[in-house]
A and B are shown apart, each in its own frame.
With several copies, the nearest count.
Chain A
Amino acid sequence: MQAIVNISLKDAVLDPQGRAISHSLTDLGFNEVTDVRVGKQILLEIDENDPARLRQRVARMCETLLSNTVIEDYSIVIPDEE
Chain B
Amino acid sequence: MTLSALRVAIIVFPGSNCDRDMMVAIEQLTSRRPALVWHKEASLDAADLVIIPGGFSFGDYLRCGALAGRSPIMNAVLDHAARGGAVMGICNGFQILTETGMVPGVLIRNAGLKFACRNVGLQVCETLASPFTSGLVTSKRLIIPIAHNEGNYFAEPDELNQLEGNGQIAFRYTDSKAIGPANPNGAAHDIAGVISQNGRVLGMMPHPERAMSDLHGSTDGAYLLLKSLEALAS
Chain A positions within 8 Å of B63 at CB level? 68
The segment from B2-10, B108-116, B127-135 that touches chain A is B108-116
Whether the Cβ atoms of A21 and B154 lie closer than 8 Å is no
A71 to B58: give the CA distance in the assembly, Å: 21
Q: State whether A21 and B67 are in contact (beta carbons under 8 Å apart), knowing that A16-B59, A16-B111 are contacts in the complex.
A: yes
**B67, B106, B112, B156 interface centre (most CB from chain A within 10 Å):** B67
Whether the Cβ atoms of B108 and A13 lie closer than 8 Å is yes
Chain B 139-167 interface mask (CB, 8 Å, partner A; 1/0): 00000000000001010100000000000
Q: State whether A65 and B61 are in contact (beta carbons under 8 Å apart), knowing that A12-B156, A16-B152, A17-B113 are contacts in the complex.
A: no
Whether the Cβ atoms of A68 and B99 lie closer than 8 Å is yes
Chain A positions within 8 Å of B110 at CB level? 16
Whether the Cβ atoms of B186 and A21 lie closer than 8 Å is no
Closest-by-CB residue of A relative to B109 is A16
**A13, A64, A65, A70 interface centre (most CB from chain B within 10 Å):** A70
Whether the Cβ atoms of A20 and B154 lie closer than 8 Å is no
Among B105, B113, B156, which residue has its beta carbon within 8 angstroms of that of A20?
B113
Whether the Cβ atoms of B67 and A24 lie closer than 8 Å is yes
Does B62 reach chain A (CB closer than 8 Å)?
Answer: yes
